[in-house]
Amino acid sequence: NAGVTQTPKFQVLKTGQSMTLQCAQDMNHEYMSWYRQDPGMGLRLIHYSVGAGITDQGEVPNGYNVSRSTTEDFPLRLLSAAPSQTSVYFCASSSITGELFFGEGSRLTVL
């Protein structure tokens, strides 16, 4: 019962460093998405994908890149980390019904 798996769970970066948050799902869901969660602001959509090879921007895409080469995987890349990207990141997947299944989150700190 893996569901949605995110790695790493914790990461500390220095300003300007790059990194990739990995996300994999084993439910054969077409839709995958990345959210960030900041105190008092709920979850905000960064990028999403409706299938392999198709991605689109959400509410807060700046500073992040994504790709979707397979149905299972949807990595999120930070090209040049900034302190404003300190947050908890959630990957999620869903079938066509729209109910999202979330990974356990990745806590990122940018110094």
Partner 1 sequence: EDKVVQSPLSLVVHEGDTVTLNCSYEVTNFRSLLWYKQEKKAPTFLFMLTSSGIEKKSGRLSSILDKKELFSILNITATQTGDSAIYLCAVDRQGAQKLVFGQGTRLTINP
Residue with tokens 């992040």: 64
Environment class of residue 86 by beta-carbon count within 10 Å: exposed (0-12), middle (13-18) or buried (19+)?
A: middle
- Residue whose CB is less far from partner 1, 63 or 105: 105
- Residue whose CB is less far from partner 1, 32 or 110: 32
Sign, CA torsion 108/20/100/50: positive
- Residue whose CB is less far from partner 1, 51 or 83: 51
The correct pick among 41, 79, 82, 111 for binding partner 1 (CB under 8 A) is 41
* Residue 26 interacting with partner 1 (CB under 8 A): no
d(CA 13, CA 63): 14
Nearest distance from C-beta of residue 17 to partner 1, angstroms: 25
Site string for partner 1, 75-104 (x = CB under 8 A): ---------------x---x--xxxxxxxx
d(CA 36, CA 17): 19
Grouping H, G, I as helix, E, B as strand and the rest as coil, residue 84 is helix
Contacts with partner 1, residue ranges (CB under 8 A): 4, 31, 33, 35, 40-45, 48, 50, 58, 90, 94, 97-105
